[in-house]
Structure 1
Amino acid sequence: MEFKDYYAALGVAKTASADEIKKAYRKLVRKYHPDVSKEPDADQKTKELNEAYDVLGDAEKRAAYDELGARGYQRGQDFQPPPDWGSDFEFSHGSDSDFFADLFAHLGKRSRGGGASHAGAGANAGGFQMRGEDIHAAISIDLRDAYLGATRTISLRVPRHDENGRVVTQDKTLNITIPKGVTPGQQLRLAGQGHVGSGGPGDLYLEIQFNEDPRYRVEGRHVYETVPVAPWEAALGGEVEVSTPSGTVSVNVPAASQTGRKLRLRGRGIPGEPPGDLYLLLEVVLPPAATDQARDLYRQMAREMPFNPRAH
């Protein structure tokens, strides 16, 4: 089988930091996700990206992979695990790749007297310990939760080893605290809630997503809210009550306002240091001409208020 260059797959240098690797992976996996990508090989590309990040996103796996690269293997060359990697430690992998399997299923301790252990790995009775994989998932909240904070209960299906050492899955329920001030795309880290490994469990990363709400649009910490107003409120001006994510506020609508006018409420966006702003976008809504009286009023306006909006 061929040696795979995981760094090239993610488009990063071998000296890239963990954050640079994570950013590159997230950018590419969004680009090639089969649900949004029009690329014909999007599904295969996504699998390759996941496989590459599975290794480079974990410090212990990356250290072992880097050591293999230091032995002179190049992309496309035939690969066989070096015999001095040992076979007394079995790593349970989650990839369908033969290369990935052979790279880590045979990963073990050095032959006795074989030198230092891998960077970032721990020894247990002379063996190589591998930290469990991190879990990445998404959690959806309402915009109001970002203002006030919230608690959520989530269920995960995670692998574990049974009494016979076999890998089985079990359901895990966690109570999650959503701190106020979170923004879309932000990740919450729950230490030790990832997959189990011989060197300790990985972490759980939850990416914040906001439930869609036609009233609001979020840009960073700034919030844009559409506010319907009656024609007389827009024309004459005055105070109106507006329901916002942080509660009801009284807002002064300037006279002669039109649809699209923007009112800024400083500091009433998503909390933070500094907090965002809340922008109210006025939308003039006409009363329906559903009754004879309503139609008569519209006819009266047409007679007494000659107005051609297309002339302006």
Structure 2
Amino acid sequence: MSDTVAAEDYYRLLGVSRSADAKEIQRAYRKLARKYHPDVNKDAGAEDRFKQISEAYHVLADPESRAQYDRFGPEFRQYAGAEREYASQTQGAAAGGGGRTRARPGPSGFTWSSAQGGAGPGGASVDWGDLFGDVFGSMRGMDHELTLELTVEEAFRGGARTVVVSGPDGGRQTLDLQIPPGVLDGQRMRVAGGGGAGRDEGGVGDLVITFRVRPDRRLRLDGKNIEMDLLISPWEAALGASVSARAPGGPITVRVPPGSSSGRRLRLKGQGMPQPGGKPGDLFAKVKIMVPPHPTDRERELFEQLQRESAFDPRRAS
């Protein structure tokens, strides 16, 4: 599951009470999954919501992880793991030292004492330095997040990109990325070792990149499909034509059928976003009829002649 799902209450995400049983949780998840699945819901944010409810379901559907979540909250993985490590350490110390754990100076001089049969003079003690120093000291570094904005053409091509992010030592580090061709809006990429520093032998966290593909005046992204405006003249629209255009993948020729009005979408199969190892999207050329902004005298004369002779009324035809 994703490490970067927002720390929102899982019960509230699924719309169930904290006393809900497994069947209630499953029913709630199925209902929400049908609503927010990215193959069904194309609204902005639907895919992120689907990931969140999926994370919530997988945690609450498992009795053990649900119990840990109820006890520790959104950071249950971190704290439950620390608790297990602490229990392992104390059990090992008990086996080798008559049930006693060693005492070491704790932060601010605070020591928590415990012993089998109760605490007292000479009893075993465990200080906060043991609990939060040794246990939490060996922790993996936090993941860092970065949103990277691309044009449709940049997302189509992929390629090398350099970013400057926070380094493990708190300074700045430069990372050279290789963006795969065909990344989609909202898609994520994990860069190992690009996150925060770990403690002791915990290891460095990762950099999690979320791609945002921004539309422009000519190109728009719809899932893995691309829509582009195809500018044509009135006579090309009326009579039909083969029109040259620049697509993200390079120059193309689009066959415009006679009688094409503005808004007509012409499909070019397989020329949308590439999907390595999968089926590419389609390219849709959307007809947009343009008229001469400053017609010559002859052009005006021909348009006036057409106006006199044509019986076509677009308002009545529609």
* TM-score after normalising by structure 2: 0.61
Using the alignment, how far apart are the partners of 1:86 and 1:10 within structure 2? Answer: 37
User: Which digits, 9 at most, give the CA deviation of each residue in 1:257-307, with x for residues without a partner?
Assistant: 111211111110101111111111111122224444433232222112233
Distance in 1 between the 2:149 and 2:227 partners? 19
Is 1:205 paired with 2:246? no
Shift, 1:157, TM fit:
2.7
* Rounded Cα–Cα distance in structure 1 between residues aligned with 2:289 and 2:281: 26
In structure 2, relative to structure 1, the CA distance for the partners of 1:255 and 1:205 (3 Å cut) is same
1:137 maps to a residue whose letter is L
Q: Does 1:27 align with 2:26?
A: no
Structure with greater helix percent: 2
Q: 1:280 to 1:82 in 2, by over 3 A?
A: farther
Alignment correspondent of 1:135? 144
Partner SS state of residue 132, structure 1: coil
Give CA deviations for 1:103-159 in whole Å, capped at 9, x if unaligned. xxx7234xxxxxxxxxxxxx7xxx741111001111112222232221111111345
Please say if 1:276 is aligned against 2:298: no
Where 1:172 maps in the other structure, the secondary structure is strand
Structure 1 SS opposite 2:302: helix
Q: Percent identity?
A: 32
- Secondary structure of 2:128's partner? coil
Contact map agreement 1:149 1:180 (CA 8 A) in 2 = yes
Instruction: Find 2:133's aligned residue among 108, 111, 122.
Output: 108
Contact 2:266 2:286 in 1 (8 A): yes
- Paired position in structure 2 for 1:149: 158
Judged with a 3 Å threshold, the aligned counterparts in structure 2 of structure 1 residues 296 and 86 are, in CA distance, closer, same or farther, namely farther
What is residue 230 of structure 1 aligned with on the other side? 233
222-231 or 59-68, larger mean C-alpha shift: 59-68
User: Residues 156 and 293 (structure 1 numbering): CA distance in 2 closer, same or farther, change over 3 Å?
Assistant: same
2:304 aligned with 1:304:
no
Displacement after TM superposition at 1:182 (Å): 1.2
Residues 1-312 of structure 1 aligned to structure 2 (within 5 Å): 7-8=9-10, 11=13, 26-27=48-49, 55-56=75-76, 59-61=77-79, 63-64=81-82, 83=112, 86-88=127-129, 107-109=132-134, 128-158=137-167, 160=169, 169-198=170-199, 199-272=202-275, 273-312=278-317
* Larger gyration radius, structure 1 or structure 2: 2
Find the counterpart in structure 2 of residue 98 from structure 1: none
The count of corresponding residues between Structure 1 and Structure 2 is 227
Q: Distance in 1 between matches of 2:294 and 2:206?
A: 59
Q: Partner of 1:205: helix, strand, or coil?
A: strand
TM-score by length of 1: 0.62
Q: Is the 8 A contact 2:213 2:221 kept in 1?
A: no
SS of equivalent residue, structure 1 residue 145: helix
Per-residue displacement from partner, 1:164-222 (whole Å, max 9, x unpaired)?
Answer: xxxxx311111111111211111110011100011111110000111331212212211
Q: Secondary structure at the match of 2:312?
A: coil
Deviations 1:2-27 (A, max 9, x none): xxx975587479999xxx9xx99953
Q: Structure 1's 291 and 61: CA in aligned 2 closer, same or farther, altered over 3 A?
A: farther
Q: Measure, in 2, the Cα distance between the counterparts of 1:237 and 1:66.
A: 73
Q: Does the CA-based 8 Å contact 1:289-1:295 persist in structure 2? A: no
Structure 1 unaligned residues grouped into runs of 5+: 31-51, 69-80, 90-105, 110-122, 161-168
Q: Which consecutive residues of structure 2, in runs of 5 or more, have no partner in the other structure?
A: 1-6, 26-32, 34-44, 53-72, 87-109, 114-125
Report the Cα offset of residue 252 of structure 1: 1.0
